[in-house]
Amino acid sequence: MQKTTGSRRDQMLLFARNFLKHPRMLGSVIPSSRFLIDGLLKHLDFNRARVIVEYGPGVGTITTHVLKRMHPDAKLIVIEMNDDFVRFLRENVPDPRLHVVHGSAADVGPELKKLGYDSADYAISGIPFSTMPPEVRADILQKTNAVLNPQGAFLVYQFSPSIGMHLERAFGTVTRTFEPLNIPPAQLYVARPRAVA
């Protein structure tokens, strides 16, 4: 079983420092609550999933919960743009099933190919789509839909409800729930992939 060496206090301080530097990239001053994490991950079939992708893992709050639950043969690929978070994850989450990519979610397809995968079973994201340029948001959503297995899903948590209509354009079916026990309260979405022509 994996273990983390970074303390919860270290995680919180690093997250808060980076929120102050990049508030539009994080969206919240503290990591996600256990209620949000449980509400999101209940839609993930850990017995079946072998390739899981996470965009913007930050200090690994959701990452570590995924690693605790996922199959011993599964792979978790996290894609993070922030230098501090990439370093923190590589130094503090020593699980061989974890692969940390320093890059953009828009590169999900090539990053999967580098590791020998054609597709992913699930993708998870809390990156703030509402603050992105529209063309970047559309590109990430389209590429995520393209790499998901037909039985997979894109699990998204956001603090703004505006992503709903963009998910509906890019994916086959989208369902939404609300998690009030988080700071701030969050919208949770499950987007099932649309067939790619």
For 164-182, write each residue's pLDDT tens digit: 999 999 999 999 999 999 9
At the top level of CATH, the class of 8-192 is: alpha beta
- Structural domain boundaries in the chain: 8-192
Mean pLDDT of the chain: 89
Residue 148's Cα: distance from chain center in Å?
14
List, for residues 102-117, the tens digit of each pLDDT value: 999 999 999 999 999 9
Q: Closest by alpha carbon to 38, among 196, 188, 197?
A: 188
Which helix (H) or strand (E) element contains residue 84?
helix 83-92
In this structure, are residues 118 and 97 in contact, taking their beta carbons and an 8 Å threshold?
no
Cβ neighbours for 176, distance < 8 A, ≥ 6 positions apart:
161, 164, 187, 188, 189
Cβ neighbours for 98, distance < 8 A, ≥ 6 positions apart:
2, 63, 67, 76, 78, 89
**What is the secondary structure of 163-180 as a DSSP string?**
HHHHHHHHSSEEEEEEE-
d(CA 135, CA 123): 20
List, for residues 114-136, the tens digit of each pLDDT value: 999 999 999 999 999 999 999 99
> What pLDDT is attached to residue 151?
95
